[in-house]
Amino acid sequence: MTEHTNGARGDFADFVRVEVPTLTRAAYLMTGDRHHAEDLVQTTLARVAVRWDHVDEPAAYARRVLYTQSVSWWRRRAARVSETLTARVPDQPRLDTDVDVAVVLERALHRLTPRQRAVLVLRFFEDRTESETAELLNCRIGTVKSQTRHALRRLRELSPDLAQLEMDR
């Protein structure tokens, strides 16, 4: 093994140590499932490893791979949580704490489309601007705006308590 390869391997290990926690959180928000999130992170890192010698900003490249992979159709099919319709509206917990909000939000997130989830995660979890989000998702800014708008409206429809919470505060 050459000196160059050894060096690259060490750099990649450092990158993994630093970036995996962040990537995992974003992946979990995108997929809603720990196993799928882990799978997505490993797929992303494998891609980064292959392109390691050619990528100037590995962190940015990893995020781009993560989000584009998460919305690709074959992953969407595998990751989608099947929805079961019932005659009774499920009980809604009281939203007294952030944990309560998280429970309701997580349930609602599952019912968004992968692209809508990606837009919300980038805009409100990673605090990206619209242009950065558009670049990472490889789409236009107008698409980001419309997807954000649709996602928020869908969240309000799915969880009226979240909308009520917004008005209360």
Partner 1 sequence: MNEWLTRGLHAIADRVPPAAVPEDLFNQARSRHRRRTVRGGIALTGVLLVIAVSLVRPIWQQPSVFGAGGPQAGIPTEVVVPPHWCATVGQSSPGPAAAIFGGEATRDDWFEGRFAAVSATGDRYRVIDEMPYRPPGFEALLSPDGRYVAHGRAVTALTKDGKDISYLPGDVIAFSPRSDRLVFATEAELTHPNTYTTPIVGIYDLASRSTVTQVDVGSAWISPGWTAAMSADGRRLALQVRDEIWITRLEGTVGTPYLKIRVPGGRLAGPGSWLPDGRSLMVAEPASDGGWRLSERDTQTGEPVERPALPVPPAATFLRVIAWHSADSAVVLAGFSHGDVKPASDNYDVSLGPFRSSTTDQVRLVVLTRGAASARTVLETPEGVDDLDVAADLATAEAFRSPGEPTFGPPHTLYLIGGSLILAAVTIAIFVAVRAVRNRGRRKAAAASNRG
Positions that interact with partner 1 (CB under 8 A):
4, 8-9, 12-13, 16, 20-21, 23-29, 34, 37-38, 41-42, 45-47, 49-50, 52-53, 98-99, 101-102, 104-106, 109, 120-121, 124-125, 127, 152, 155-156, 162-163, 165-166, 169
Gap between the Cα atoms of 155 and 164, Å rounded: 12
Beta carbon of residue 154, minimum distance to partner 1 (angstroms, whole number) = 12
The smaller minimum CB distance to partner 1, of residues 141 and 165, is found at: 165
Beta carbon of residue 163, minimum distance to partner 1 (angstroms, whole number) = 7
Instruction: Write phi, then psi, for 32 (nearest 5 degrees).
Output: 75, 15
Contact 63, 128 (CB under 8 A): no
Beta carbon of residue 61, minimum distance to partner 1 (angstroms, whole number) = 14
Contact 89, 161 (CB under 8 A): no
The smaller minimum CB distance to partner 1, of residues 85 and 125, is found at: 125
The smaller minimum CB distance to partner 1, of residues 54 and 88, is found at: 54
Which residue has tokens 């989608």? Answer: 80
Start-end of H helices in the chain: 3-31, 34-50, 58-71, 73-79, 98-109, 114-120, 130-137, 141-158, 160-168
Gap between the Cα atoms of 105 and 151, Å rounded: 12
Beta carbon of residue 91, minimum distance to partner 1 (angstroms, whole number) = 19
The smaller minimum CB distance to partner 1, of residues 87 and 109, is found at: 109
